[in-house]
Amino acid sequence: MKAVAFYRYGGPEELSLVDLPMPEPGEGEVRVKVRACAVNLSDWEGLVGSPFYARMVGGYRRPKRPVCGSDIVGVVDKLGAGVTGFEAGQRIMGDFVMTQRGFAEYAIVPVEHAVAVPDTLSDEIAACLPQAGGIAVWGTRDVQSGDNVLINGAGGGSGTMALQLAKTAGARVTAVDNAGKTGWLESLGADAVVDYRQIDFARTGETWDRILDMVATRGPFAVSRALSPGGWYRAVGGGVGVLLSLLAANQPYRLAGKSIGMLLVPSGRDLTTRVAQMAVEGKIAPHIEDVLPLEAVPEALRRTGEGAVKGKLVIRP
């Protein structure tokens, strides 16, 4: 089968289109013929091996899984031992971040994280939902009408869906991203757009009730200045040092009425099912910039790592 693989950490130049043996499912696994796989920032982190937590999952010295791609939609091709509740020919989806293998013609996935794709969702839309949609739903679950919300990295897959959900809840939303996405983010409903290359939102003097930060680069002191009394800040990702400083600061700042920490998303069947149902009901809709073939994975990952994508890119083998 065809797959895009890498055997050492680095940039897109480490990726190549290769022929790999057809994988066989083990106990509790199924093999799927991949119909679509969304590109996530976590795929870029896995490729470059940074931040360090990417190596904690993917291998310290070299990648232990040569094929990345975690938000997979595929048709069940073969069942492993002990699998119940699924059958050949069934279309399934899931966030398989711990096993990946989605940038290939076939992939082995654990059924414990798989759910059936609703009939009304296309392959491409469904592929955008498990990880990015889960982050958006979980990151905005406490947003209320009248809240002043800031989303840093609002132009990515999770950010655009979080923007939708916050606006639906009745919040005022400030979207932070690069200047190339300003008009587009305004068209999605952002009340204000900040170009992070020109303005540091933490130094504007404005404060927000909720801050959802897709890639944390600021320590707790800077973040606290941007929080209103009683507000919370949650980081989705970022450098290990920054994330540890945010976790360590949570209790002291909580005593001052501000909550600072990481967004711990309970990924799995329940959240994926919830996000998929919200998409069916029209409550959440990923923005797909392009659908690309397997050989375009290197370029798709490069653009994702640079933050140059408006919404999501999807690979369709």
Q: Does one domain contain both 227 and 137? A: yes
Residues spanned by the domain of 168? 133-262
Q: Does one domain contain both 20 and 75? A: yes
The CATH code of the domain that includes 170 is: 3.40.50.720
For residue 187, what are the contacts with CB-CB under 8 A and spacing of at least 6? none
**Nearest-angstrom CA–CA distance, 81 and 84:** 9
Q: Does one domain contain both 104 and 13? A: yes
Q: Above 90 in pLDDT, residue 265?
A: yes
| Mean pLDDT of the chain, nearest integer | 95
pLDDT in tens, 1-48: 999 999 999 999 999 999 999 999 999 999 999 999 999 999 999 999
Q: What is the mean pLDDT of residues 172-191?
A: 96
* Rg from Cα positions in the chain: 19
pLDDT at residue number 115: 97
> Is residue 277 assigned to a domain?
no
Amino acid at 249: A
Band (pLDDT 50/70/90 cuts) for residue 229 is very high
- Per the CB < 8 A criterion, the answer to whether 156 and 214 are in contact is yes
Q: Does one domain contain both 96 and 79? A: yes
Band (pLDDT 50/70/90 cuts) for residue 112 is very high
Q: Is 164 helix (H, G, I), strand (E, B) or coil?
A: helix
Checking DSSP bridges between strand 29-38 and strand 71-79, what pairing results, if any? antiparallel
Checking DSSP bridges between strand 227-235 and strand 259-262, what pairing results, if any? parallel
Phi/psi at 123 (nearest 5 deg)? -60, -45
Band (pLDDT 50/70/90 cuts) for residue 56 is confident
Q: Is 216 helix (H, G, I), strand (E, B) or coil?
A: strand
Burial class for 94, CB neighbours closer than 10 Å (0-12, 13-18, 19+): buried
The CATH code of the domain that includes 45 is: 3.90.180.10
pLDDT at residue number 180: 94
Q: Does one domain contain both 116 and 146? A: no
pLDDT in tens, 126-166: 999 999 999 999 999 999 999 999 999 999 999 999 999 99
Q: What is the mean pLDDT of residues 226-237?
A: 95
Q: Above 90 in pLDDT, residue 54?
A: no
Work out the percent of the chain whose per-residue pLDDT is above 90. Answer: 90
Angle, helices 297-305 vs 41-48, to 10°: value is 100
Q: Does one domain contain both 170 and 255? A: yes
- Per the CB < 8 A criterion, the answer to whether 264 and 275 are in contact is no
> Is residue 274 assigned to a domain?
no
Q: Does one domain contain both 49 and 72? A: yes
Q: Is 295 helix (H, G, I), strand (E, B) or coil?
A: helix
Q: Does one domain contain both 191 and 91? A: no
> Is residue 22 assigned to a domain?
yes
> Is residue 182 assigned to a domain?
yes
> Is residue 238 assigned to a domain?
yes
> Is residue 138 assigned to a domain?
yes
Q: Is 57 helix (H, G, I), strand (E, B) or coil?
A: helix
Give the chain's domain count: 2
Q: Is the dihedral of CA 127, 58, 99, 151 positive or negative?
A: negative
Q: Does one domain contain both 226 and 190? A: yes
Q: Does one domain contain both 73 and 138? A: no
Q: Does one domain contain both 120 and 154? A: no
Which one, of 62, 76, 140, lies nearest residue 106 by Cα?
76
> Is residue 102 assigned to a domain?
yes
> Is residue 230 assigned to a domain?
yes
Q: Which two tokens stand for residue 136?
A: 């958006």
Answer with the residue of higher pLDDT: 61 or 279.
279
Q: Does one domain contain both 26 and 88? A: yes
